[in-house]
Amino acid sequence: MAEDTHYNQAPRRKAEFIRPNNTLKAKVGSGGISDDILNKAQALLENHSADFLPLAELYLGALVKGIEKAQEPEFEDQSEYVISMMLYPTMQLKANGGMFHYHLITIIADKLIQFLEVIEKADLDAVEIIMAFHTTMRAIILGKITGTGGSHGKELIGALDEACTRYFDQFPKVKSRLDDYSKGKF
Amino acid sequence: MAYQLDRITVLVIEDNQPMLDIVKALLTTFGVGQVIGAANGEIGFKRYHEYKPDIIIADWMMKPMDGISFTRRVRGDEQGPNPYVPIVLMTGFSEKRRVFQARDAGVTEFLVKPFNARDLYKRMVQVIERPRQFVKADGFFGPDRRRRKDSAFQGPYRRDTDYQNPSVGGALQLKQAEAHAQLFKIRESSGIGKGDKINLKTRD
């Protein structure tokens, strides 16, 4: 019989497997729901008139607070904290933008998340880029540019991409972190 | 025949009120009988005890208790009404490490925002039709974190069980018959019999 312990492997853990009763299935039965209902639900999602502006202002405001903290000398050594302060509202903008018809906000906020996830510190160069993202998103919200923004939206995304590329060219270490991130290693 | 969703209760935990309203409206349109709302994990936990929901849909980022802490609390609550309750976590994060973090907390399904009506419906179908077994181990209690890489894969696994699946077994037999026919053609055209030995010489 093989030894239970192995120097190069993590110790085996005892696990109990439980298969709970599927009471949910028993309650709802079979058959799914019709396409009509799904289309009705989708129409509801596409046509709701909930206002995104107050929420967006809240999250953009929180992003500004993070940007301000990043510029304060006493937070110079607390990059992780400062970055997380900016990451939270950005994630909210990404998540909620598209739910409230602002798909361009989702795309841009997603790019900012990618940027924030790979930078090691929120130095002056990084803050400049984050501010550009903020200004762009604020302009989109105030201009009520819903959807993807068409060719104008593409131009905005292109400009932000270029700014990020310039930063990554300047800091190859961050670029390699970005590559890892893109490959899902991060 | 359709799902009788009117028989179930779904608890939605979301601190963003307009978003909470949207998710509640979607579930009501699906036909869910009772949709309960909660503004954060703390209130959600009370509602969980109070209403014993069949499915929980929770946002990740909330204060004072976020979706991850809420999930840990539900899974670790021995006095709770149902520690096996399916929990769908909504979030803007889609990065691998975030998914792992949620999975390690005991989350059943992950729903990336922004989502559409079908995305939400798919998660519901997943927890209804393919409930995950639970694992109780040192430091972890929650749905089995191992997931087949391709859950939609319907093809053969090169196992005896393939033949027990009528759709896969049939396709496999057809494929084998085609391969035999092909082999027969090759043999016929080259004049090689079934039992003939072939000496393959390597080229210089």
Q: Do A18 and B136 touch (CB under 8 A)?
A: yes
Q: Tell me: the pLDDT tens digits for B38-78?
A: 999 999 999 999 999 999 999 998 888 999 999 999 999 98
Name the least confident of A54-58, B79-83, B84-88, B150-154.
Answer: B150-154
Q: Using the 8-state DSSP alphabet, how is residue B161 labeled?
A: G
Interface of A with B in 103-162 (CB under 8 A): 103, 106, 109, 113, 117
Contacts of residue B174, Cβ cutoff 8 Å, sequence gap at least 6: none
Residue B63's pLDDT is what? 84
Q: Do B137 and A13 touch (CB under 8 A)?
A: yes
Query: How far apart, in Å, are the Cα atoms of B26 and each of A23, A46, A47, B34, B90?
Result: 23, 11, 12, 12, 14
Which one, of B197, B136, B193, lies nearest residue A18 by Cα? Answer: B136
Quote the ipTM score. 0.81
d(CA B156, CA B30): 35
CB-based contact B77:B99 (threshold 8 Å): no
d(CA A69, CA B13): 30
| Both structure tokens of B168 | 């896969």
Q: Across the interface, which of A28, A55, A117 has its CB nearest the CB of B95? A: A117
Percentage, residues of chain B above pLDDT 90:
57
> How confident is the prediction along chain A (186 residues), in pLDDT tens digits per residue?
455 566 666 666 678 899 998 999 999 999 999 999 999 999 999 999 999 999 999 999 999 999 999 988 888 888 889 999 999 999 999 999 999 999 999 999 999 999 998 888 888 899 999 999 999 999 999 999 999 999 999 999 999 999 998 888 887 766 666 666 666 654
Per the confidence metrics, is the pTM higher than 0.80?
no
Query: How far apart, in Å, are the Cα atoms of B7 and each of A26, B31, B48, B116?
Result: 10, 9, 17, 24
Chain B residue numbers touching A35 (CB-CB < 8 A): none
